[in-house]
């Protein structure tokens, strides 16, 4: 079930990322064409681009977590015995998990608060700025919980590297 979640959620994230990136290119192309033809800006493009960029950023970061492609350092880990390297790796994974859980909690609370306000141009609830952060970090938490459970049980992680996560 955990492998299915990782596989399906990665596919969904990739599909959304492609759609978001294509949308960003399309609306910014429309902005450029509009400026050339009419010498003024489409105000909504900047606001929508910001929301789409945040969506792309946080979902792609969740994809990085699924593939375990964090920036890695192994300076400290190389100094440890192999059994301690595993423990240290698990400890670092717990720190990453706690950090993202706190950010997800903050983002959910921010979504609730920002729902009272509207964006200046599109008139959308300002929660759209925080929703990508909440979704991305929540997905990272689920992903890291799966990997931590596998590590705890001694199951080899997909594409696991000997370095320590940072």
Tell me the pLDDT tens digit for each residue of 33-47.
999 999 888 889 999
Give phi and psi for 74, each to the nearest 5.
-130, 15
- Reported pTM: 0.82
pLDDT for position 30:
94
151 and 93 Cβ atoms separated by less than 8 Å = yes
| Range 80-92 average pLDDT | 85
Backbone angles phi, psi at 22, to 5 degrees: -60, -40
**What local confidence, expressed as pLDDT, does residue 18 receive?**
95
pLDDT greater than 90 at residue 13: yes
Q: Six-digit token pair at 31?
A: 């902005």
Closest by CA position to 127, among listed 70, 73, 66, 51 = 51
Q: Specify the 3-state DSSP secondary structure of 162.
A: coil
Predicted confidence (pLDDT) per residue in 139-163, tens digit: 999 999 999 999 899 887 766 444 4
Confidence at residue 67, expressed as pLDDT on a 0 to 100 scale = 84
Bridge partners of residue 164, in order along the sequence: 73
What DSSP letter does each residue of 23-85 carry, written as one string? HHHHHHHHHHHHHHHHSS--HHHHHHHHHHHHHHHHHHHHHHHHTT---EE-HHHHTS-HHHH
Whether the per-residue pLDDT at 165 is higher than 80: the answer is no
């Amino acid at each position: 079930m955990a492998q299915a979640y990782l596989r399906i959620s990665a596919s969904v994230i990739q599909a959304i990322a492609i759609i978001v990136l294509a949308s960003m290119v399309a609306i910014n192309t429309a902005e450029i064409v509009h400026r050339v033809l009419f010498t003024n800006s489409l105000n909504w493009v900047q606001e929508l681009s910001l929301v789409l960029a945040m969506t792309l950023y946080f979902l792609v970061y969740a994809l990085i977590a699924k593939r375990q492609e964090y920036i890695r350092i192994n300076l400290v880990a190389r100094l440890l015995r192999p059994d301690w390297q595993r423990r240290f790796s698990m400890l670092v994974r717990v720190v990453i998990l706690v950090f993202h859980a706190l950010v997800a909690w903050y983002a959910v609370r921010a979504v609730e608060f920002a729902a009272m306000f509207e964006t200046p141009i599109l008139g959308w609830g300002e929660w759209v700025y925080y929703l990508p952060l909440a979704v991305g970090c929540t997905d990272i938490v689920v992903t890291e919980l799966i990997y931590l459970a596998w590590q705890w049980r001694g199951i080899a992680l997909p594409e696991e590297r000997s370095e320590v996560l940072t």
